Amino acid sequence: MLEEVQPLTAPYHMQLGYTNYAGPVRSRFLMELRDNKRIMGIRCSQCDLVYVPPRPNCTRCLNNLDEWVEVSDKGTLITYTNIYSLEPMHKKEIPFVFGIIQLDGADTGLVHFLSEIVPERVRTSEQLKIGMRVQAVFKETRTGSILDIDYFKPL
């Protein structure tokens, strides 16, 4: 009898307000951005991988991580996507571009905004391409957030 019943669905967006605890590792990372405009990674002494953003354990060997290293504010664009629909968590006006950047000295990618480009022209121009070099642009007033890096710009 239940096989004959069609499920009823209704679209609904729920917005939840919450506070996220950064923990000791992410807190140090964010304080370095805020206080020194410096991007720090954390190296695994066993695998020699450098994680940015830092994490407490290595994803490869599960080793506890505690060796902090400064990485460059320059890196390589691994991939990107254009954003055309506004969501409450977006901190930029649409359209904008998100990219994954592998900073020099890091082995992982950092997701962040790309700017000083025209998003509407990205598909038809050479403004952005995978493998291009980019550099972090810091906000003048920083608060201890990943958004203290305002965006990455093409070099």
Which pLDDT tens digit goes with each residue over 17-46?
767 788 899 999 999 999 999 999 999 999
Q: Which CATH architecture has domain 21-154?
A: Beta Barrel (2.40)
Three-class DSSP labels, 72-114: CCEEEEEEEEEECCCCCCCCCCCCEEEEEEEECCCCCCEEEEE
> What per-residue confidence (pLDDT) applies to 92?
78
- DSSP assignment of 16-78 equals -------HHHHHHHHHHHHHH--EEEEE-TTT--EESS--SB-TTT--B--EEEEE-SEEEEE
In the prediction, which pLDDT does 110 show?
Answer: 97
| Secondary structure class of 154 (helix, strand, coil) | strand
Query: What does the domain layout of the chain look like in residue ranges?
Result: 21-154
The predicted-structure confidence for 49-99, as pLDDT tens digits, reads as follows: 999 999 999 999 999 999 999 999 999 999 998 888 877 777 778 888 889
Amino acid at 68: W
